[in-house]
Amino acid sequence: MADLALGLLSELQCHGVRWQGDGGLARKGGAGPSDHKALSLGEHTAMVPMLNLASQASPYSAVPDARGEQAVIFRDGQALGQVRLPGVPSFYGLSTADGTPYWKIATLHSRDVLATTVLQHCIRMNDASSACQFCAIGQSLEAGKTIARKRPAQLAEVAEAAVRLDGVKHMVMTTGTPNTPDRGAAILCESAAAVTARVALPIQAQCEPPDSDAWFGRLKAAGVVSLGMHLEAVSEAVRARIMPGKAQVPLARYFSAFEAAVKVFGHGQVSTYILAGLGDSGDAIAQMSERLAAMGVYPFVVPFVPIDGTPLASHPKPSSAFMQALYPRIGQSLRRHGLRAADVHAGCAKCGACSALRQHE
Ligand code: SF4
C-alpha cells in the first residue's frame, strides 16, 4: 500500500484518529502533546491525537500491523495509505541506580527529541480559578508515569543514554511554574548545566517570562540554545477565560521578555506556542504571529487538542478548514522575516511534529 499523502497529516491532527490497537508508544497526560502518538511519513514525523475521547468521533482510524511497525489509515472504512510507527526507544529499558525508569524522567517526542518536564507541578494547577484549562500537567504524576522533580544528575544520565542509544538530536526542557520570581528559570539553568556537562545536546528551555531579563544570559551560560515562552492564547478575552492565572502576566511583559531574549539567543531562536482553536480568531492569531515574527520570535501555531480530564475535554477542536486557512498566513510572516524551523537549534519549532506549519514555511 502507498504511503499516506503528507497533506493529510494536518487533517489527522485536527480530527484526531481512532486508534485500533493497544496503547503502544504514546503520551497520555502531562505537558506538551498529550494523548498523542507519533506517525512517520518519509522524513516527516507528526504527533497525532489518538487516545483522547475527542478523537473517538473522528472519521479517521488507524489499524496497526501485528508487529506494531506500520499502520493503515482509514477514512469512513476506506484505506487511505500507510504510516510508520516509531519503535520504543532503547533508553526506555534503563533505570537509574535508585530504580527510577528513565522514561519517567524524560520521554521521546516525535522521533529524535528528548523531552522532560523538570518540575511536574505548577502554582496554579490545583486552583480552578487560576489553572490553565487545557493543561494536564498533574495527570501523568497521579498516574505514576513520571516523577515530581527531575534532578539535574538524573536528566544528565538519561540524556547521555538517549543520545548514545537512540540518536536523540535535541532536548526540550519545560517546567511547571514554581512559586518563585524566576518562574522556573533557576531549575532550568541547573538542569541544562548538568546535561550539557555530560553530553553535547542542544537544549530548548521553556518557561514563563521570569522577573528579570538577566535570567536569559544565565540560561544561555548554562547551555540553553533556544528559549520558548508560550502565549498559548493571543487576545485578552481568551487569555482571561482559558488561563486566568497566567493571563495576570500581561502581554506587555511577554513582549519585553521576547525582545530581551532575542538579543541573547538570536533571531529565530526564541519561540512561542500558540494554540489555535481556543477562541482566538484567525485574524488575531495571524496578526500576533506577524508581530512576533517581526521581532525574530518564531510563532509555533498548533491546533488545540482537548485532553481528557481537563476542563476543556469537551471543547470543540479547530476545524481543518480553519487551520488550512491559517497556516499559509503564518507561513507568509515566517518567510517575510527570515524564520525557518531548520535554523532553530532546539525545541518545538525545530521539531514541528505537533503542527503542519512546517509545510507552509
Ligand atoms: S513540537 Fe514540541 S511538544 Fe510537539 S512533539 Fe515536538 S518537541 Fe514535543
SS3 at position 56: helix
- What average pLDDT does the structure give for the chain? 92
Ligand 1 and 32: CB distance under 6 A = yes
How open is the CA angle 44-338-275, to the nearest 5 degrees? Answer: 55
Q: How far is the CA of 319 from the centre of ligand 1 (A)?
A: 21
Task: Give the tens place of pLDDT for each residue, 34-51.
Answer: 578 899 987 889 999 988
d(CA 48, CA 66): 20
CB burial of 319-355 (b: ≥16 within 10 Å; e: otherwise) equals ebebbeebbebbbbbbeebebebeebbbbbbbbbbbb
Q: How far is the CA of 94 from the centre of ligand 1 (A)?
A: 23
Mutate to test the pocket of ligand 1, among 25, 36, 109, 204 (most ligand atoms within 8 A of CB): 109
| Amino acid residing at 77 | G
Q: Is the pLDDT of residue 28 over 70?
A: no
Ligand 1 and 354: CB distance under 6 A = yes
Mutate to test the pocket of ligand 1, among 232, 351, 355 (most ligand atoms within 8 A of CB): 351
Atom of ligand 1 nearest to the CA of 38: 5
HEC assignment per residue over 81-115 = EEEECCCCCHHHHCECCCCCEHHHCCEEECCCEEE
Task: Give the tens place of pLDDT for each residue, 138-190.
Answer: 888 888 889 999 999 999 999 999 999 999 999 999 999 999 999 999 999 99
d(CA 21, CA 312): 26
Q: Is the pLDDT of residue 70 over 80?
A: yes
CA proximity to 218, closest of 247, 249, 258, 186? 186
Mutate to test the pocket of ligand 1, among 25, 113, 275, 355 (most ligand atoms within 8 A of CB): 113
How much is the pLDDT for 1?
A: 83
Q: Is the pLDDT of residue 196 over 80?
A: yes
Task: Give the tens place of pLDDT for each residue, 257-301.
Answer: 999 999 999 999 999 999 999 999 999 999 999 999 999 999 999
Ligand 1 and 115: CB distance under 6 A = yes
How much is the pLDDT for 2?
A: 86
HEC assignment per residue over 232-257 = ECCCHHHHHHHCCCHHHCCHHHHHHH
- Location of C-alpha cell 545536546: 201
How much is the pLDDT for 129?
A: 86
Ligand 1 and 172: CB distance under 6 A = yes
CATH class of 90-360: alpha beta
d(CA 198, CA 39): 31
Q: How far is CA 4 from CA 19, 71, 78, 323, in A?
A: 16, 10, 12, 19
| Amino acid residing at 101 | P
Ligand 1 and 351: CB distance under 6 A = yes
Give the up-direction half-sphere exposure of residue 216: CA atoms within 13 A in the CB hemisphere. 21
Q: Is the pLDDT of residue 31 over 60?
A: no
d(CA 229, CA 254): 8
Q: What is the pTM of this model?
A: 0.93
Percent of the chain with pLDDT over 90: 75
How much is the pLDDT for 300?
A: 98
Atom of ligand 1 nearest to the CA of 300: 1
- Location of C-alpha cell 532536548: 171
Q: How far is the CA of 32 from the centre of ligand 1 (A)?
A: 7
How much is the pLDDT for 135?
A: 85
Interhelix angle 214-221/251-265, rounded to 10 degrees, is 40
Task: Give the tens place of pLDDT for each residue, 105-141.
Answer: 999 999 899 999 999 988 888 888 889 888 888 888 8
For 12-48, the DSSP string reads HHHH--EE-S---SEE-SBSSSTTEEEEEETTEEEEE
Q: Where in the chain is the domain with CATH 3.20.20.70?
A: 90-360
Q: Is the pLDDT of residue 340 over 70?
A: yes
223 — pLDDT class (breaks 50, 70, 90): very high
- Among 26-35, 77-86, 225-234, 321-330, the range scoring the smallest mean pLDDT is 26-35
Q: Is the pLDDT of residue 65 over 80?
A: yes
Residue nearest to atom 1 of ligand 1 (CA): 348
Mean pLDDT, rounded, for 6-17? 89
Ligand 1 and 33: CB distance under 6 A = yes
Q: How far is the CA of 334 from the centre of ligand 1 (A)?
A: 19
Atom of ligand 1 nearest to the CA of 36: 5
Q: How far is the CA of 224 from the centre of ligand 1 (A)?
A: 17
DSSP state of 346: S
DSSP state of 342: G
